[in-house]
Amino acid sequence: MGEIDNESIARIERGIAGLLKHLKMRTTGPDPVKSPVMFERSEVLRSNFTGIWYPLVEKAQMVKQGTIIGRVTDFHGQVLEEIKAPFAGEVLYVVGTPAMNKGEPVGYIGSTSK
């Protein structure tokens, strides 16, 4: 579910230009971020079942501990599991494709020290 809009493409190009400047592979590019956001804690959330994934949150959404991130159902609609946020934080990504195999990531959550 990569973003292909112009803003996302420009952000990636800017990041690569900054990295190349930092590695002294080119002289131009943006300076490093003055106040980077560091995640103290992060976790990839994974499915324990093969089935259909139904996300209930969106990327960049803030969630509380225990918030239901989404559900995995069997192929007949029976809920096999609810994936919950293990801690309060920001949804860094959530998988948008419905097909899900056991052990695959369904989302990623991170929290800062703020």
Report the chain's terminal Cα–Cα distance, integer Å: 29
Are 50 and 29 within one domain?
A: no
Q: Split the chain (114 residues) into runs of 10 and give each run's mean pLDDT.
A: 78 93 94 88 97 96 97 97 97 94 97 79
Query: How many domains does the chain fold into?
Result: 2
- Residue 114: the pLDDT is 60
Cα-based torsion angle of the residue sequence 4, 8, 10, 16 in order, rounded to the nearest 10 degrees: -100
Are 51 and 80 within one domain?
A: yes
Are 100 and 73 within one domain?
A: yes
- Residue 1: the pLDDT is 56
Are 63 and 103 within one domain?
A: yes
Whole-model pTM?
0.78
Are 14 and 51 within one domain?
A: no
Q: Which domain holds residue 111?
A: 37-114
Q: Which residues pair with 107 in a beta bridge?
A: 45, 94
